[in-house]
């Protein structure tokens, strides 16, 4: 897409096998995430004895471009080994080379194995895991700081500790932080306990991301692999937890108290946002006030806060782009999901051109990178 700065708001790293073994505090190392090769020759991530996922399609895969090959679906395998991961997933110089191939100017980086680690029940262990990851990612991005932009992982089981880690990561050059998309029942995001987190994120100008597959342990069913029983049903309804969390934040008055706070839904596509805004406004204006006794100031509606404070990432959601006037053009961030199997790499420019064909030049510039640059101060 010549003429526009292209920012992938949802790229990933693929954590190297020794990341946590070499970086975690000694007291945690025998419980830290590690890759184990099974009898079938596939590599699986384990953490504290719990099997998480493998380096193949079960973890998103790491062979971008394979989906465009003839017969790619038939050749897709659930398992794989780390040696087959594309080097750009764990070597920063190689990711920059792939960005040049794909025409991507800036990559905003999320984890791969780290997404599933939100299910780790031991809060202290999880905090240590995230700190080690954040240290590694900071070094990864320092290789090319203008091209590679890190997102920190936060464990909000202890809000004070999470806030301190966010402050630390800001000093390391992180441009945002991610929190669990679905906190446990009884600790949802309309709870007062998160007030220090919202306040710090606003003061630090750190957008907070709700990424796919980061359900906290005890939050309810979900997270099934798409190749298991009922997995396709789950995969077709993955936007449920992010809609609930965004609704809790809005109806809890968080954006009224913190008007500069930005919260994003990442890797959920965007069509759902049109219906959610309509449903929130209808519920707020037409349902009994007993269910929402708090009323927003200045006659604001839930959709007004959504438009001002929420950003949403998509990859290939053509329907969402057709609904852009309802969703809000300024809320849309494109991402390629590199280096995962479903990534648009190496055809990102072609796919963007096709999806945004009916947009104005101004809209194309915003969606391709301008909106992400504004939200993340790039």
- Residue 62: inside a domain: no
pLDDT at residue 231 in the model = 64
Task: Mention every residue, 6+ apart, whose C-beta is less than 8 A from residue 193.
Answer: 159, 187
Bridge partners of 150, per DSSP, are 109
- Residue 278: inside a domain: yes
Q: Give the model confidence (pLDDT) of 267-326 as tens digits.
A: 999 999 999 999 999 999 988 677 776 789 888 999 999 999 999 999 999 999 999 999
d(CA 334, CA 347): 14
H or E stretch including 95?
A: helix 92-102
Residue among 232, 324, 233 at smallest CA distance from 271: 324
Query: pTM of the full predicted structure?
Result: 0.94
- Residue 35: inside a domain: no
Which domain covers residue 269, as residue numbers? 7-13+89-376
Q: What is the CATH number of the domain that holds 168?
A: 3.20.20.140
The mean pLDDT of the chain is 91
Q: Give the model confidence (pLDDT) of 213-255 as tens digits.
A: 999 976 554 444 433 445 677 778 889 999 999 999 999 999 9
Please state the domain count of the chain: 1
Cα 230–chain centre separation? 23
- Region of 103 (left: φ > 0; alpha: ψ -120 to 50; beta: rest) is left
Q: How many CA atoms lie within 13 A of 340 on its CB side?
A: 21
Q: How many CA atoms lie within 13 A of 28 on its CB side?
A: 22
Torsional sign, CA 119, 266, 208, 88? positive
Q: Is 374 exposed, middle or buried (0-12, 13-18, 19+ CB in 10 A)?
A: middle
The stretch 115-137 carries a mean pLDDT of 96
- Residue 38: inside a domain: no
pLDDT at residue 65 in the model = 83
Q: Give the model confidence (pLDDT) of 63-117 as tens digits.
A: 788 888 876 554 556 678 899 899 999 999 999 999 999 999 999 999 999 999 9
Helix (H, G, I), strand (E, B) or coil at 39: coil
Residue among 122, 108, 310 at smallest CA distance from 216: 122
pLDDT at residue 224 in the model = 40
Q: Give the model confidence (pLDDT) of 40-75 as tens digits.
A: 899 999 999 998 887 765 556 677 888 888 765 545
Q: Which residue has the higher pLDDT, 186 or 150?
A: 150
d(CA 9, CA 7): 6
- Residue 39: inside a domain: no
Looking at the chain, the whole-number percentage of residues with pLDDT higher than 70 is 90
pLDDT at residue 78 in the model = 62
- Residue 183: inside a domain: yes
| pLDDT over threshold 90, residue 17 | yes
Q: What angle do CA 107, 111, 117 make, to 5 degrees?
A: 165
- Residue 247: inside a domain: yes
- Residue 146: inside a domain: yes
Quote the tokens at residue 374.
């504004």
The stretch 137-158 carries a mean pLDDT of 98
Task: Mention every residue, 6+ apart, whose C-beta is less than 8 A from residue 188.
Answer: 244, 245, 248
């Amino acid at each position: 897409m010549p003429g526009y700065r292209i920012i992938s708001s949802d790229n990933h790293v693929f954590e190297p096998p020794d990341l946590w073994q070499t970086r975690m505090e000694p007291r945690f190392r025998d419980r830290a995430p590690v890759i184990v090769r099974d009898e079938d020759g596939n590599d699986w991530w384990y953490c504290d004895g719990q099997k998480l996922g493998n380096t193949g399609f079960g973890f998103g895969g790491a062979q971008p471009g394979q989906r465009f090959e003839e017969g790619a679906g038939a050749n897709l395998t659930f398992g794989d080994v780390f040696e087959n991961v594309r080097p750009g997933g764990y070597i920063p110089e190689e990711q920059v080379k792939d960005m040049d191939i794909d025409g991507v100017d800036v990559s905003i980086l999320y984890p791969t194995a780290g997404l599933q680690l939100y299910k780790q029940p031991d809060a202290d262990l999880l905090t240590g895991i995230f700190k080690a990851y954040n240290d590694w990612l900071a070094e990864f991005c320092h290789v090319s700081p203008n091209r590679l932009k890190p997102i920190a992982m936060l464990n909000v089981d202890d809000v004070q500790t999470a806030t301190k880690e966010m402050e630390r990561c800001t000093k390391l050059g992180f441009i945002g932080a991610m929190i669990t998309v679905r906190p446990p029942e009884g600790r949802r995001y309309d709870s007062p306990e998160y007030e220090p987190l919202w306040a710090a994120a606003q003061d630090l100008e750190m957008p907070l991301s709700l990424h796919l597959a980061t359900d906290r342990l005890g939050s309810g069913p979900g997270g099934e692999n798409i190749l298991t029983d009922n997995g396709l049903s789950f995969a077709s309804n993955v936007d449920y937890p992010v809609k609930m969390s965004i609704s809790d934040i809005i109806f809890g008055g968080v954006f009224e108290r913190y008007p500069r706070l930005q919260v994003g839904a990442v890797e959920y596509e965007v069509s759902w946002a049109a219906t959610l805004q309509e449903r929130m406004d209808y519920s707020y204006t037409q349902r009994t006030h007993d269910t929402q006794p708090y009323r927003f100031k200045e006659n604001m509606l839930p959709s007004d806060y959504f438009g001002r404070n929420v950003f949403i990432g998509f990859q290939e959601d053509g329907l969402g782009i057709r609904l852009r006037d309802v969703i809000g053009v300024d809320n849309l961030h494109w991402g390629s999901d590199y280096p995962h199997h479903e990534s648009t790499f190496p055809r990102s420019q072609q796919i963007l051109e096709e999806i945004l064909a009916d947009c104005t030049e101004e809209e194309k510039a915003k969606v391709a990178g301008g909106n992400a640059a504004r939200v993340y101060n790039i």
